[in-house]
Amino acid sequence: MTDAGPKLTDGRTRIDFQTDPSRYRHWKLELDGAVATLLMDVDEKGALFEGYELKLNSYDLGVDIELADAIERLRFEHPQVRALVLRSGKPRVFCAGANIRMLAGAAHAHKVNFCKFTNETRNGIEDASAAARLKTICAINGTAAGGGYELALAADHIILVDDASSTVSLPELPLLAVLPGTGGLTRLTDKRKVRRDLADFFCTTEEGIKGKRALEWRLVDEIAPPSKFDATVAARARALAASAPPPTQEPSMQEPSMQEPSMQEPSMQEKGIALTPLVRKRSADGVEYGCVSVELARGGRLATIVLRGPAAPPPRSAGAMLEQGADFWPLRLARELDDAVLDIRMNELDVATIVFKSVGDPRAVLDCDRFIDKQGAFWLAREIRNLWKRVLKRIDLTARSLVTLVEPGSCFAGTLAELVFAADRSYMLIGRRDGDNRPPPIIILGEANLSGRLPMSNGLSRLATRFLGEPDQLAAAGGVVGQELDAEAAERLGLVTFARDDIDWDDEVRLFLEERASFSADALTGLEANLRFAGPETMESKIFARLSAWQNWIFQRPNAVGPEGALRRYGTGQKPVFDTKRV
Amino acid sequence: MTDAGPKLTDGRTRIDFQTDPSRYRHWKLELDGAVATLLMDVDEKGALFEGYELKLNSYDLGVDIELADAIERLRFEHPQVRALVLRSGKPRVFCAGANIRMLAGAAHAHKVNFCKFTNETRNGIEDASAAARLKTICAINGTAAGGGYELALAADHIILVDDASSTVSLPELPLLAVLPGTGGLTRLTDKRKVRRDLADFFCTTEEGIKGKRALEWRLVDEIAPPSKFDATVAARARALAASAPPPTQEPSMQEPSMQEPSMQEPSMQEKGIALTPLVRKRSADGVEYGCVSVELARGGRLATIVLRGPAAPPPRSAGAMLEQGADFWPLRLARELDDAVLDIRMNELDVATIVFKSVGDPRAVLDCDRFIDKQGAFWLAREIRNLWKRVLKRIDLTARSLVTLVEPGSCFAGTLAELVFAADRSYMLIGRRDGDNRPPPIIILGEANLSGRLPMSNGLSRLATRFLGEPDQLAAAGGVVGQELDAEAAERLGLVTFARDDIDWDDEVRLFLEERASFSADALTGLEANLRFAGPETMESKIFARLSAWQNWIFQRPNAVGPEGALRRYGTGQKPVFDTKRV
């Protein structure tokens, strides 16, 4: 295994996270009123990298990019869908999990980033259930092994065909000497609450568990004989869809007094928007989107992401927002920012630090936040806010140093101010710059920062996490919502790390960025993964901490990845040779 | 770095965890009424392994074994001590942290086990504060770097001398490309609740932070100029000692109606017991203690630990328990079991599985539990229970597969039944064995299993963790306390994994043990570290999961441990060469 890893197929030079159903090679989305079916039918020849075929519905990152896209589109393009059925388009196999030859050949960094993205996708399925009331049923009509069963674990309801052969299994350990690292172990114990000793048996039993025992051990929710399988799945999907509240009436979000009359019309409740292709212009040194610019300074191992504030006031009504669709500024910005971060994560491994900057009117950002809050009961407003939640969580989990620079002309207010709090460090300019007649920068806090609607994976808002030890500071932040805070006020309130004037700014920021680039990349990854997540852990955060960190360790160990290790020897007919020492 | 690691010094062939103050080379314990001082004065020539000297109060495992011993002895031998002062016996340096050359030369397994033990020792200091009201003050009279500051973080109160030069620092990342992995990162954010961006600055600043800023950032609790340092420390220690309740009157444990009149006498409240040397006879294939036998079957990669139940009924009174001292069965057994587990962890790396068995009368075990519960307000009873808590936590964290075999003649009741629930799997014999006229085995639950007094590091009891998804099962377990449960009843109640009769037993157990030995040692470590800890996380569990797992990953990465890595190049005058890819 060279760390460079194998070549991408089809002459690609980068991994692209943008796709749409017309380009899917591995999934088919079928819509039937409130029920959608996502059919997994992986194209063996559609691998992302050279050197392997995607047999038996095994997957690589390319397959998962399509899945993630489909889930997003369901939420925005088909809000009428209340139940999603995940099933296989192939006979006798649901999904064989992550492709083993892909894993065996992949560079360490790709393995880690692949697992992180697939975890985010599965969390996204659960988020759709919790936040958008889009329930998922996994219909296992054959073998669900490893990552295949882990995909099922992300669903609300798992139905397994009860024939003589179909099993669910997590054979990673006995077969490959790695973990079920796409949430499998954590979801077994923390979501399905399978008893630990039964989980131990299950995870060390290559052939898996079928039928009644799988049900008794709570590995699945329901079993059905082959003759009744399709009817059971269909009935369950219809029932789930019928029990879910319509898009505008989620109880937790209901704010009837703020609804506009026009929103009560069924056509508007149900009408989705098109997630139109992102406009991107890539150059050698960056990418230009509509509201986002990425500037790569590869010599300095830096990527600067500049976010542009809204160019227009918010729409006048929910209907007008629907009209704007994917062009509505907060939605467009979130999608572009997400793409930019994923692109850096996966394609720019040498970037040590991401610098966030912004340009625009902070009051205009707050106006947009307020508009979305006011329309909070309308599905599109809620989905936009939830997309921001997911994008910000993705940033929290990005293994790059993050720094936010608050300079004149910036618009870090409300939702965008979260990038100040997501950063490992922030610097804010005191006063103006010599020769720059823009006013000194300000930060304005909004409800977005304090309402808890943009939680981190630990379940707390970034400000609550930041001020765990200083509840007075959190209260003080709550007391200045809507106020224009200059650098000194922001520093005093603990909202930025350092306020610096024009004399010190350039040197201090430059030294920080140089220092960051000089440190060990791995040590920074470990440091940031610890310091960013103070306080409680949730199932989601446990997946990225307890499970992923151990998996990443195992992905370095010769027993898995060495020349005689299980991942490399799989399918060769040769048994792996293990170092027997327990560590 | 060979994985075999360097040789032990002084002709030792094993690492021994038993010591006593007369043999300490690195610490001096000074007693003054309710205040004790533990003076760190590391003997440079007293390293555990060849190839390095312990300069500047740096430490290796040998230094930490003495510290752990001293803390245990304070609790048992000197219960009158209410405040412990940790300070350095050397001028201008408190402690330079873990010895870098030791780390650079150590085998991976040793690094991991070293960190685990030092973490357990620091948790022990915090446990003494929480459970025994023995408060610790760390008096930093010079530089506290890396593991030196991490040791301070375990204290209740940190006083830093405010001179021109003394700093606290966590220079691991900039200096060595590893993490402050002895709890440092987690205690910064979760115990001291240092703001994450300030923590980021602190952990990337090699020279550390001194005086007023250290206080403002909450890195220390108090600063004192050199001229007033000793007086400040002494006054703070006296005040803490005076504010702590006397040993028998911990509010949370007070059960006055159960106290015997004799316990009110000050002499008995204050009189400690001697932790006499463990009686151990080592042979080529095991160790024989008083109440514990360890049988090593190295060919099968097995260690069998047999626990022997009490040979006599519990003492008649608290006074009689005090008389028995270290010979009192539960105390003796806990100390022997702890030593046996540590010995296997550190010296028998090839052991894949630890098998727990027991021999004795389960009712006699429960009698002892009840006696201790009845005397729960007496310091010695409380300390014994707390020692069991720590020993069982150590077992939970032991990176070996754990299996408990419940066979005829066994005594898994009450506290000892925790070993059934701590195991990754358990097997219980149905009925008798052919040719064995002992009655079928039974399990008896006691208050120890349900009271929450023996929590895991996640804060829950083992049964509560086991039945997270089945509250009815937890309630059912509560309903059978004191009842004799045969194998079928225990299986039905979910207390054992498998009940098997004599016909299946031998084959099934043998196959399980062979299978376990055939799996990748590393993958098992990761699997067990996940499945054992369902449910919530605490600061303690985060240290072993989030922090340690990342540190173990970094301990595999060339940036730290490769020939050009920072750990290997430290002190050579050559700069490390890093792979710059972020993963």
Q: Answer yes or no: are the C-beta atoms of A207 and A144 closer than 8 Å.
A: no
Point out the residues of chain A with pLDDT beneath 50: 1-2, 249-266
CA distance A54 to chain B (A): 25
pLDDT of residue B132: 78
Q: Answer yes or no: are the C-beta atoms of B454 and B418 closer than 8 Å.
A: yes
Confidence of residue B255 (pLDDT cuts 50, 70, 90): very low
Where are the alpha helices (H) located in B434-547, listed in sequence order? 447-450, 462-466, 471-479, 487-492, 502-518, 521-531, 539-542
- Read off the pLDDT of each residue in B525-539 and give the average, rounded to a whole number: 98
pLDDT of residue B243: 86
CA distance B211 to chain A (A): 19
Task: Provide the sign of the torsion angle of the four alpha carbons B519, B522, B526, B531, taken in this order.
Answer: positive
Query: Which pair of structure tokens corresponds to residue B547?
Result: 């922090």
DSSP state of B58: E
The reply to whether A395 touches chain B by the CB within 8 Å rule is no
B23-45 pLDDT per residue, tens: 999 999 999 999 999 999 999 99
Q: Do A523 and B177 touch (CB under 8 A)?
A: yes
pLDDT of residue A253: 40
Contacts of B549 in chain A (CB under 8 A): 545-546, 549-550, 552-553
A477-527 pLDDT per residue, tens: 999 999 999 999 999 999 999 999 999 999 999 999 999 999 999 999 999
Distances B557 to A109, A348, B101, B410, B518 between C-alpha atoms, Å: 12, 20, 17, 46, 26
CA distance B159 to chain A (A): 19
In this prediction the pTM is: 0.95
Q: Measured between CB atoms, which of B516, B556, B581 is closest to A109?
A: B581
pLDDT of residue A133: 85
Contacts of B3 in chain A (CB under 8 A): 579, 581
- Residue B266 reports pLDDT greater than 80: no
pLDDT of residue A536: 97
B210-224 pLDDT per residue, tens: 999 999 999 999 999
- Residue B496 reports pLDDT greater than 90: yes
Q: Do A553 and B519 touch (CB under 8 A)?
A: no
Q: Measured between CB atoms, which of B173, B194, B198 is closest to A523?
A: B173
Contacts of B172 in chain A (CB under 8 A): 523
For the purposes of burial, counting CB atoms within 10 Å of the CB of B283, is it exposed (0-12), middle (13-18) or buried (19 or more)? Answer: exposed
Q: Do B553 and A179 touch (CB under 8 A)?
A: no
The reply to whether A189 touches chain B by the CB within 8 Å rule is yes
pLDDT of residue B248: 54
In this complex, how many residue pairs, one in chain A and one in chain B, have their CB atoms less than 8 Å apart? 296
- Residue A442's nearest CA partner among A481, A486, A482, A405 is A486
Q: Which of B531, B541, B544 to mutate to test the interface with A (most CBs of A within 10 A)?
A: B531
- Residue B462 reports pLDDT greater than 80: yes
A193-213 pLDDT per residue, tens: 999 999 999 999 999 999 999
Confidence of residue B246 (pLDDT cuts 50, 70, 90): low
Residues 6+ apart with CB under 8 A from A444: A362, A363, A366, A413, A414, A417, A482, A483, A484, A485
pLDDT of residue A262: 47
Q: Which of B344, B493, B550 to mutate to test the interface with A (most CBs of A within 10 A)?
A: B550
Q: Do A576 and B520 touch (CB under 8 A)?
A: yes
Closest A-chain CA to B567? A520
Q: Measured between CB atoms, which of A424, A470, A530 is closest to B547?
A: A530
Q: Measured between CB atoms, which of A201, A424, A578 is closest to B521?
A: A578
pLDDT of residue A489: 98
Beta bridge partners of residue B8, listed in sequence order:
B49
Confidence of residue B270 (pLDDT cuts 50, 70, 90): confident
pLDDT of residue A267: 57
**ipTM for the whole predicted complex goes beyond 0.90:** yes
- Residue B258 reports pLDDT greater than 90: no
CA distance B152 to chain A (A): 19
B58-109 pLDDT per residue, tens: 999 999 999 999 999 999 999 999 999 999 999 999 999 999 999 999 999 9
Q: Which of residues 446-465 of B touch A (CB under 8 A)?
A: 465
Q: Answer yes or no: are the C-beta atoms of A303 and A357 closer than 8 Å.
A: no
B348-378 pLDDT per residue, tens: 999 999 999 999 999 999 999 999 999 999 9
Q: Do A177 and B523 touch (CB under 8 A)?
A: yes
CA distance A461 to chain B (A): 14
Q: Do B349 and A582 touch (CB under 8 A)?
A: yes
* Percent of chain B scoring above 70 in pLDDT: 95
pLDDT, chain A, mean: 94
Sequence-ordered strand ranges (E) for A89-187: 92-95, 97-98, 135-140, 142-145, 157-161, 167-169
- Residue B262 reports pLDDT greater than 50: no
Q: Do B581 and A349 touch (CB under 8 A)?
A: yes
pLDDT of residue B251: 39
Confidence of residue B5 (pLDDT cuts 50, 70, 90): confident
Distances A321 to A249, A264, A326, A331, A399 between C-alpha atoms, Å: 18, 15, 9, 10, 34
Closest B-chain CA to A532? B196
Distance, CA of A101 to CA of A105 (rounded, Å) = 6
Q: Measured between CB atoms, which of B465, B520, B526 is closest to A553?
A: B526
Residue matched to tokens 């697992």: A115
pLDDT, chain B, mean: 94
Contacts of A114 in chain B (CB under 8 A): none
Q: Measured between CB atoms, which of B468, B549, B580 is closest to A546?
A: B549
Distance, CA of B298 to CA of A171 (rounded, Å) = 27
- N-terminal to C-terminal alpha carbon distance within chain A: 24
Closest B-chain CA to A201? B425
CA distance B264 to chain A (A): 40
B162-172 pLDDT per residue, tens: 998 999 999 99
pLDDT of residue B253: 40
Closest B-chain CA to A427? B197
Beta bridge partners of residue B135, listed in sequence order:
B83
- Residue B391's nearest CA partner among B354, B422, B420 is B422
Q: Do B108 and A583 touch (CB under 8 A)?
A: yes
Q: Measured between CB atoms, which of A425, A522, A576 is closest to B201?
A: A425
Q: Which of residues 517-556 of A touch B (CB under 8 A)?
A: 517, 519-537, 542, 545-547, 549-554, 556
Pairing of strands B27-32, B83-88: unpaired
Longest CA–CA separation in chain A, Å:
78
Closest A-chain CA to B352? A582
The reply to whether A12 touches chain B by the CB within 8 Å rule is no
Overall residue count recorded for chain A in this entry: 583
- Residue B208's nearest CA partner among B180, B230, B229 is B180
